[in-house]
């Protein structure tokens, strides 16, 4: 006994949208049942559904892709519900859907899948000062009149997650997404360090250096940009003095170094006092931004001679060295 078959597939679908593809099969016998036949639904030659039926007279069935022996996922499409036959096309393009059967059934339809991903433009300034607020911006555009697929956008700073947005445009539109900050997505644990502070929709750099932003989206976009943060502590030795240029053996004298910080942040440095034989004094000092401090050492020599006294400030300075000479008699 013969079957009457038809294929149901949408002529057009959005990329990422759930659509239904199914075979409709009816037994035309007036009594008894139709003989067992195998029907397959193929998408561009890949079997998405394969099942055999022996329907009773006058009965019918509608079977979607994904049930039976068919594939459930390829690089171009994935079956999201095997029972209902819902399928999502992951890539735009034209797909040929074919229903075939051992009874001679052969019907094809074309499904055109429209690009429903976003175009992105990520921007951050290339250089800022310590203390400046930065708002990383991701321009997100959907050019599909029917809307675009759901997409997640993630922002990382030096490998640490600092922002997340979810996007689902219902029509063609563009929007600037503010990516960083604690209000970008309160459901995620955003990462914060001593180098920067996250605000509501921005971040502030607290230390100078080079920082790398990375933005990654669930629909395949990736971009990386570097920002240079300047204006931290800049500490150096700008002056030095001895309380006298001549002392006797065993007599104490004072060696003073003037340390200046021309940066905007407080800076900690190690001031070293040295002569030709090595280090004779060391002190750690914090120099407020825009100020200078004097660091004094008391020195005693037990051997006569001429000594070159050197003053230096270690990291984060550029290791400036100044020198004074003293004669010990």
DSSP strand pairing (18-20 vs 37-43): unpaired
- From the list 237, 232, 201, the residue with the least C-alpha distance to 310 is 237
Q: Catalogue all structural domains in the chain, each as residue range(s) with its CATH number.
A: 3-114 (2.60.40.10), 118-230 (2.60.40.10), 235-328 (2.60.40.10)
Tokens encoding 50 = 């394969």
**Is 307 in contact with 326 (CB distance < 8 Å)?**
yes
Predicted TM-score (pTM) of the model is 0.57
Question: For residue 315, what pLDDT is reported?
Answer: 45
Question: For residue 318, what pLDDT is reported?
Answer: 35
Tokens encoding 286 = 């914090």
- Residues 136-179 have pLDDT tens digits of 888 999 888 878 888 888 999 998 888 888 888 878 888 887 77
CA–CA–CA angle 230, 214, 125 (5° rounding): 35
Question: For residue 208, what pLDDT is reported?
Answer: 83
- % the chain with pLDDT above 90: 34
Q: Residues 91-120, buried b or exposed e (16+ Cβ, 10 A)?
A: ebeebebbbbbebebeeeeebebbbbbbeb
- Residues 185-208 have pLDDT tens digits of 445 555 667 788 887 778 888 888
Q: What is the DSSP letter of 208?
A: -
Question: For residue 215, what pLDDT is reported?
Answer: 94
**Is 25 in contact with 2 (CB distance < 8 Å)?**
no
Question: For residue 130, what pLDDT is reported?
Answer: 85
**Is 185 in contact with 162 (CB distance < 8 Å)?**
no
pLDDT in tens, the chain (329 residues): 589 999 999 999 988 888 999 999 999 998 999 999 999 999 999 999 888 989 999 999 988 887 666 778 899 999 887 677 789 998 999 999 999 999 999 999 999 999 888 899 999 999 998 888 898 888 999 888 878 888 888 999 998 888 888 888 878 888 887 776 554 444 555 566 778 888 777 888 888 889 999 999 988 899 999 999 987 778 888 888 888 888 888 899 898 889 898 877 788 888 888 887 888 889 999 999 889 999 999 989 888 888 888 888 764 333 344 555 666 64
């Amino acid at each position: 006994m013969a079957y009457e078959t038809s294929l149901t597939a949408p002529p057009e679908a959005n990329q990422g949208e759930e659509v239904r593809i199914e075979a409709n099969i009816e037994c035309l016998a007036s009594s008894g049942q139709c003989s067992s036949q195998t029907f397959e639904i193929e998408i561009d030659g890949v079997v998405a559904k394969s099942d055999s039926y022996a329907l009773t007279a006058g009965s019918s069935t509608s079977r979607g892709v994904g049930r039976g022996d068919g594939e459930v996922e390829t690089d171009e499409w994935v079956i999201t519900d095997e029972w209902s036959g819902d399928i999502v096309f992951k890539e735009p393009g034209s797909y040929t859907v074919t229903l075939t059967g051992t009874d001679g059934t052969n019907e094809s339809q074309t499904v055109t899948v429209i690009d429903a991903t976003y175009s992105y433009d990520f921007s951050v300034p290339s250089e800022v000062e310590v203390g400046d607020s930065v708002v990383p911006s991701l321009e997100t555009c959907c050019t599909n009149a029917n809307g675009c697929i759901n997409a997640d956008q993630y922002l990382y700073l030096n490998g640490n997650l600092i922002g997340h947005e979810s996007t689902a445009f219902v029509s063609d539109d563009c929007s600037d997404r503010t990516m960083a900050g604690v209000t970008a997505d309160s459901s995620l644990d955003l990462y914060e360090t001593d180098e920067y502070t996250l605000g509501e929709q921005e971040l502030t750099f607290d230390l100078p250096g080079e920082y790398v932003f990375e933005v990654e989206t669930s629909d395949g976009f990736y971009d990386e940009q570097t920002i240079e943060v300047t204006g931290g502590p800049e500490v150096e030795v700008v002056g030095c003095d001895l309380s006298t240029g001549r002392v006797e053996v065993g007599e104490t004298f004072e060696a003073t170094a003037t340390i200046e910080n021309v940066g905007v942040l407080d800076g900690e440095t190690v001031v070293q006092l040295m002569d030709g034989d090595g280090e004779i004094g060391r002190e750690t000092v914090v120099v407020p931004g825009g100020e200078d401090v004097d660091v004094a050492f008391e020195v005693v020599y037990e051997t006569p001679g001429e000594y070159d006294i050197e003053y230096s400030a270690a990291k984060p300075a550029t290791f400036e060295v100044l020198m004074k000479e003293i004669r010990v008699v």
